[in-house]
Structure 1
Amino acid sequence: MNKLKADSAKIILTNKILCPEPNEVFKASDMMKDFELFMPQRYRTENPVFHVSLNPHPDDKLSDVELSAIAEEYMKRMGYGSQPYVVFKHIDISRIHIHIVSVRVNAQGKKINDKFERRRSKDITRSLEQKYGLHTAEKLSKERNPELKMVDVSQGNTKEQVENVVREVINKYHFLTFTEYKAVLTKFNIAAEEVKGSHYGNPYSGIVYSPTDNDDNKVGNPFSAATLGKFAGSEALEKKYQTSKEHLEKSRPAAPLKRAINQAFAGATNKEQFRYNLFQSGIGVVYRENAAGRLYGVTFIDHNTGVVLNGSRLGKEYAANAIVDRLENPRQYEHLINNPQYQGSTHFNPQQQPQSSQEVQPIHHSEQHLESSSIGNSIGSLFDIPILLNGDDPEGEMFRRRMQRKKKKGRRM
C-alpha cells in the first residue's frame, strides 16, 4: 500500500472488495474492513491472512489483463476463488511481479483447505507457465545460476535487494553459526544483528538486517526479519545450521579449503595481500577486530562451494592469532605452503574444538520465474549448534549459552 503512494505499484484486480470512487484512493483500513465483514466474528484459525507473490521472469512481458487473468486462475485453483482478495502489481524493480492478499477463513468461519499447499501451488504455477508460454523454473535453473549482487541503496528498492540477497545466501551457503552467517552477508553490503527487547524505540526481539556501504557503514533503513519473511528469522536459521552440519559432514570441505588458504599465503606479507590472493581462488575472508585493531576472529567463505567456516574450525594454523603470525613469520609455515597436500586430518567434524586458541575477545558495547512464495510456515528445530567454545566465535558462544538456558527451562523454539 505504501508503494501505491510512491507510484511504484497499483491495484490491478479485486474480488469482493468495494472499490473507491474515481477520484478517491484505496485505503488499507477500508480493505481490512471489507475482509472483516466477510468473515464471522468468531473463528478458530490463528493466522487468517493469506499472502502470495507471483514472479514472472523479467523477459516475460505481461499486460495487466494477462497478470489479472493469471492471478484469478491461480486463486480459483488454490481454493480462494470465492474469497475476497486484492492483487497488487509492483513495478519498483526490474522484475515486475504481483502480490495477492486474501483471508484463509470463509464466510462460515471455516479455514480454506491448506493441505499440501506448497506442492499444489508449485503445480499450478508450472501449469500457468505452460499455458501462457512463460519461462519455466526448471529451464531457468539449468540455464544459469544468477550471481548475487551487493545491495546498493542508491537504486531505491533497498528492501527487495536485502530480501533477495538474504534468501539466496541462506539457500546457497553452508554455515553453522550466526557469526559465520553474518560474515557472508557483509560481502553483499548487509549487516545482521540479534536484537532483544527493542529496536529504534519499538518493542522487538529477533534479527535485524541493515544495508551498508562498501566501508561497512550502515546506510538506509533497517529491516526486521519479520518484515522480510520467516525464511530470514531465527527459527529458519536454526534449521539451516542443522542442514549445513549434515552437508559439511558429508562433503568434507576442510582439505581443499586448507590447500587454497595455504597457497594464498605465498607472497603475502599483510592481511590485504592475503585477502587478494584468496580472492583469486574465489574465496572471501572476513576479519573481525576489536576497538584497538587487534584481530580476534577470521571467517573464510568459499564462494565456489558455498562453505563458510571460522578459521579455528580448520585448526590452530588457521585461527586469527595464527593468521597474524603466519604473515609476520612466513618461514615457520613454509612446509604448509610448499607442500599443499599437508593438511593433517582431512575429515571435517563440525563438532570439533579448535586445537588451541588464545584469541583476544572483542570489546562489546551496551522474485525470478513465475513462482509462488510466502505460503505456509517454516518450522525450525532446536538442536545443539556446534560452537567453538574457546575459539573465534564469541557471539556464537553467547548464543549457545542462551539456547542451553532455554532448553533447560523446557522452552520450545
Structure 2
Amino acid sequence: MSPLEVRQLRAATPGCQSGLVHFNHAGASLPSQATVDAIIEQLQREARDGPMEAGEHGAVMADNARRAAARLLNAPPSSIAFAGSGSSAWNLAFQALGPWQPGDRILVGRHEWGGNLASMQVAVKAGARVEVIPCDASGAVCPLALTAMIDARVKLIDLTWLPANGGLINPAQAIGEVARRHGIAYFIDAGQAVGQIPVDVQALHCDVLKCAGRKHLRGPRATALLYVRPAFLPRLDPAQRDVFSAPWSAQGFDLRNDARRFETSEVSYALLAGLGNALHEINQLGIERVWERVAQTSARIRQALGEIEGISLHDLGEHRSGLIAFNLEGWDGFELKRQLALQRINIGANNVAYTPLDMQARSLPGIARISVSPLNDEGDIEILLNALRALRG
C-alpha cells in the first residue's frame, strides 16, 4: 500500500481524524464513515417506512454481505451464516455437533480461546475429555504431535488460529490436512485472522470457521460470520430453531439445507448493512495487501519495542501476526492500557481468562497488547513509542 492509499483510508475513518491513536484493532477496529452511513441509512429507512416494511431492502443488503463474506473466505454464499458475536457463532456450531458421549475426545491447541473452552464444558459434563495438542519448538501447535494423538474416539479438533494473547500464527492448514486424512471434524476460531491475513476455507480443510465483525474487518459490534462446509452441514443439528431456520412445509418444520439454519428471523439489517460495507471495502482493498501492510508495521513496532529498556516481548511462533504481546516493567497490563487511554492512545490487555492454557503454561498473569491495522501510520507509531518511553520510569 502506498502512503497515499494509507492517507485516504485514514481520511475516510472518523477515528483517525479525531486525534485518536488506535492500536486495539484486535479488540475492535475503527469503522469507516461509509460503514457508519450504511447503518444509519437502514435505521432511517426503518423509521420512515416501518421496521418490518424496510426488511425487504434489508434482506437484499444482507445477501450482499453474505456474498462479500463468501468472496473473502473463498466459499459459496450458502455456506455463510450471520451471528451476533464470534463466541455465539462458535457455540452454536459446537452445540449442534452433539450429543457428546463418555470417552469422546476434543483436541485443542494450547492457545485456545477461553470462551471456547467454557462452551466445551457441556461436553465434559457428558463424559468427553478436552486434551491439549503439544507445541513445537516455536510454541505453535504441532501437526506431528496431533497425528500421534489420533484414535477413533477423537470427535473434534479445534484450533484458535491466531491467539488473542500474542502474534503467533498457528499452522491451520497443516492441522486441517491431519483432520481431513482421518475424517475428524475440524473447527477454526479465526477471530483474529479474518480481515488481517488471507483466509481460504478450501485450503484450510475446515468444517467450521468463525470470526467477529468488529475486529480486523472493521465492521460493527454484534456481528459475526460463521462458515460451515456444505458437505458437513448434515452433521450439525442446531438446538436453536425458529420459522426462519426451520421453515414450515407439508412435512413439518424442516431445517434449511444451508448455513442459514444457524440464523433466526430476528436480525438487525442495519448492522448487517454496516458489515456488508466493511466486507466490500476490504475486498476492494485486497486482503493480501492488507496483510503485507500489517506485517511491515508490526515488524517495525516489534523491533522498536525491543530497544526500549524495561519492555519484554511475549510473542510465539516463527511467523507473526499484527498482534504484539508485551509487558512494561512495573506496570500491570490493564493499568498501562488505562494510562495510555488518558493520552488518547488505545491498546489492549489480556489476563489469564482469555487464553488460560497458554498463559498458565508460560506463567504469564497478563499482557499488554498492541494490534495494528493498515490505518496505522508512522505518526501513530512514534506517539505510541514515545508514550511508552515516558512511562518506563
Q: Same fold per TM (> 0.5)?
A: no
TM-score, L = length of structure 1: 0.24
> Which of 1 and 2 has higher RCO (CA within 8 Å, sep 6+)?
2
TM-score, L = length of structure 2: 0.25
Larger Rg: 1
